[in-house]
Structure 1
Amino acid sequence: MRNPPTDSRATARSLIEALPRPLPQDEARRADVVQSALLTSGLLNHSDLGHSPAVTAAIRDGLTSLAHLLDMDAPGHGAGRLLLLLLAERDAFTPHPAPDTAQLRARDAATALLCLAQWHVSDDQLRLLGGALEVHAEEARDSSTGRS
């Protein structure tokens, strides 16, 4: 059974709050703090540390949760907003409307998760992001129809 979007939003907030600002520059240290944030948020269990499939699933669920969080500002558009924020960061442009602090923190968390994915995902990170956005769409649809 999937988590309702409201639970995912709480998980996303917990993940965002657990990430230090700024993130460490050293890749290994950054990976450690992102995994720690996944543990704090409940997306990852201590027994799953270092287990790439479990970490990958936690990253996907974290990205899904962040999309649900962004749905609060634009119902039904959280996934698109997350993707736009990530592209804007990568290509150095400002999306319209300009993101607020909460959206920037969600983007930063997503970026941190995708950086961690480099250590655990054998596929390309875009597939992982696409899978997370697909899960988001299914959960949002299920939530709006009352299914779980």
Structure 2
Amino acid sequence: MRTPADSRAAARRLIAALPRPLPHDEARRADAVQTALLASGLLDSSDLGNSPAVQAAARDGFTSLTHLLDKDAPGHGAGQLLLLLLAEREAFNPHPAPDEDQLRARDAATALLHLALWHTDDLMHLLGGALQVHAEEAHHHHRTKTA
């Protein structure tokens, strides 16, 4: 089981590897996100184009971004990620306004959503799975830290 620190490091690598701005062409955007997943260590080069592997990498990317958001607001990273994604989709500004790091996490999560559309018909299941993994990893880490 990965630690939250490992996940935060993977999230930082993912964010750093994503081009800004992302290409507008869907195929080029998907390639850019897969390249960032490779750079982050969340996807293996032998798994490119393999839908189950890309789904798992996207799920792990969401989990990692949630751990990253948890760093500043322990226990609230999952809610923060969902709020940021919903705010972008529905074009509203959450309060308090997200900082630059939160916006980068949101942009990375949005990029993962776009890639996941190529590999799954059930984005909610994928995102829910990521949040469940996050909760399990955070709980396990907290339990071993306090033991």
> 1:101 — aligned with what?
100
Normalising by structure 1, we get a TM-score of 0.96
> 2:144 — aligned with what?
146
1:37-56 correspondence runs (5 A): 37-56=36-55
Opposite residue 119 of structure 2, the aligned amino acid is H
Displacement of 1:73: 1.2
Identity %: 74
The one-character-per-residue Cα deviations of 1:100-120 (angstroms, maximum 9, x if unpaired) are 000000000000001000101
Normalising by structure 2, we get a TM-score of 0.97
> 1:22 — aligned with what?
21
> 2:60 — aligned with what?
61
Displacement of 1:126: 1.3
The one-character-per-residue Cα deviations of 1:76-109 (angstroms, maximum 9, x if unpaired) are 1001100000000001111111100000000000
Runs of 4+ in structure 1 displaced over 4 angstroms? Answer: none
The one-character-per-residue Cα deviations of 1:36-59 (angstroms, maximum 9, x if unpaired) are 000000000110001100000000
Opposite residue 22 of structure 2, the aligned amino acid is L
> 2:10 — aligned with what?
11
Partners of 2:37 and 2:142 in 1: CA distance: 27
Equivalent position SS for 2:37: helix
Partners of 1:94 and 1:126 in 2: CA distance: 22
Number of residue pairs aligned between Structure 1 and Structure 2: 145
Cα RMSD (Å)? 0.8
Opposite residue 6 of structure 2, the aligned amino acid is D
> 2:78 — aligned with what?
79
Opposite residue 77 of structure 1, the aligned amino acid is H
> 1:125 — aligned with what?
123
> 1:113 — aligned with what?
112
Equivalent position SS for 1:143: helix
Equivalent position SS for 2:66: helix
Answer with 26-35 or 126-135: which moved more.
Answer: 126-135
